[in-house]
Amino acid sequence: MPNVLHRLLYLQTSTGYFMNILASVLWTFLGAFQNYGGVLVSLIFITVYLGFSVLLDWRITLSAVGAGMVVFILFRRFMTLTKQYSLRVVKEDERLQGGLVEFMQFYKYLKSTSRISTTGQYLEDIIHRATHLRFKIAIIGGFLANLPESLAVILVSLLLYVEIAFFGKEFSLIAVLILLFYRTFMRVVTLQSSWQKFLSGSGALKVIPEALEKIAKLKEQGGIIKKDKLDNAIRFHNVSFSYDTKLILSSISMEFKKNTVVALVGASGVGKSTIVDLVSGILKPTTGEIMFDRIPYQNLDVSWLRQHIGYVTQEITMFNGTIADNISFWDDRPKEDVMRRVEEQCRKAYCTDFIERLPFRYDTMVGDRGINLSVGQRQRVAIARELYRGPDIIVFDEATSALDTESEQYIQKSLDAIKGTKTIILIAHRLSTIKNADYLYVIDQGHVLEEGTFKNLYENRNSKFHQMSVSQQI
């Protein structure tokens, strides 16, 4: 089973970070190694030429090398600046990539609130800073590519003049040394250019290893056991979970029995969605144990496990394709079989009525993030997609919170249609959504405060659930 990224890496890292690595930094990283290879080749040639020069006259050769070192030391500061600027360019590119993604994602909000210009100015400032840094790198690169050549020629010429005029060296020897020094010098120029380009990409050399280290540190681990279906229940036993030092869940015990509807109730931020993430294996408990029937979660193949879990959230996931593609997820089986199954699941999700009224029916393009459909229609299509997969477990995480009454009723009909055939986990704040649940857990500050049936909890006037219901907190 291939390891996949842990969700904590996704939570702790910006979108721009990944976008920048894939779109830019990776290629800069590879280019830096190519330039480094050029540096090594130039060093080999320089060593050979200087070796012959030493054999002819070691004193003149050492003097020439000394002159070259003086030039190198004079320009070392510029190389350090290039490396620093390269790292800053990578950071600015990361901000730009993230900003562009967010601009496209939240364009409607930005347009509606007249914040296009503010966001545009923010992105323009990033582009200006990145361009300014690249301009500095280019200026330094041009400076180092040309000025050292002039200085080196002057220094070597003076050195050879002194050797002929004051030490009486033979011209034939000097001519051969000039040829070797010239070859050496040309290789030094090539080395300088390659090294400058290498330093220009040195930011990537820092970012890529850091990214690989993050991935390795949070690499998702799992077992090898695969079960065909849930036979009994998923059980939490004294499960706790923390984000860094913040305790989210504390010693909770609960169970989700096969083909029952279990609702998680509580205020926002008390840990309900974290419980769902633990069920799907996206998060691992800090302490305690989760059992799938009698098998510990850590022994299960998590990739297989997620193939048996459907997930419907308030943040509706729609892809820019047809309704049929969004439901079948581009299933490559024969089209007749796919469409037969798509239509069957649409009937269960109560979305056949509006699809049949569309001009192109199931071949209707939903647009970017489903913009051509209403929120309620998108949600019903999302439910049909999860039913198409045929999972044993379906999670509804605030699936009705953003819907109007009519759309909510359709979703409720969908729930009623599959009740008793799937294990359903509900997170909801509406009584109408959870009243038909088989069992409820009231979560408060990471603890299971109360549990029982809707009827028992609601009729108990001293219960937290009753108080929340009366005050319309759910």
- What average pLDDT does the segment 223-229 reach? 75
Tokens standing for residue 84 = 């620093």
Poorest-pLDDT segment among 62-66, 268-272, 284-288: 62-66
Q: Are strands 423-427 and 393-397 parallel, antiparallel or unpaired?
A: parallel
DSSP category for residue 349: T
pLDDT-based confidence at 109, cuts 50/70/90?
low
At 128-150, the pLDDT tens digits run 888 888 888 888 777 766 666 66
HSE (side-chain half, CA atoms, 13 Å) at 55: 8
* pLDDT value at 73 more than 50: yes
- What average pLDDT does the segment 354-381 reach? 87
d(CA 101, CA 107): 10
pLDDT-based confidence at 4, cuts 50/70/90?
very low
CATH placement of domain 7-217? 1.20.1560.10
* Backbone dihedral angles phi then psi of residue 287, each to the nearest 5 degrees: -140, 165
Which pLDDT does position 100 carry in this prediction?
77
* pLDDT value at 262 more than 90: yes
* pLDDT value at 11 more than 70: no
- 233-470: CATH topology is Rossmann fold (3.40.50)
Which pLDDT does position 390 carry in this prediction?
85
Q: In angstroms, what CA-CA distances link 262 with 44, 54, 95, 288, 426?
A: 71, 85, 42, 21, 6
* pLDDT value at 25 more than 90: no
Which pLDDT does position 237 carry in this prediction?
92
Which pLDDT does position 413 carry in this prediction?
82
Residue of 471, 463, 425, 460 lying closest to 442 (CA atoms): 463
Query: Whole-prediction pTM value?
Result: 0.65
Residue of 396, 467, 450, 474 lying closest to 254 (CA atoms): 450
Poorest-pLDDT segment among 10-19, 344-353, 385-394, 407-416: 10-19
CA dihedral sign of residues 275, 280, 286, 289: positive
Contact 184, 67 (CB under 8 A): no
At 86-105, the pLDDT tens digits run 778 878 887 887 777 777 76
Which pLDDT does position 319 carry in this prediction?
82
d(CA 349, CA 388): 10
Segments making up each domain of the chain, as ranges? 7-217, 233-470
d(CA 395, CA 288): 22
Residue of 230, 231, 255 lying closest to 441 (CA atoms): 255
Contact 342, 362 (CB under 8 A): yes
Question: What is the three-class DSSP state of 342?
Answer: helix
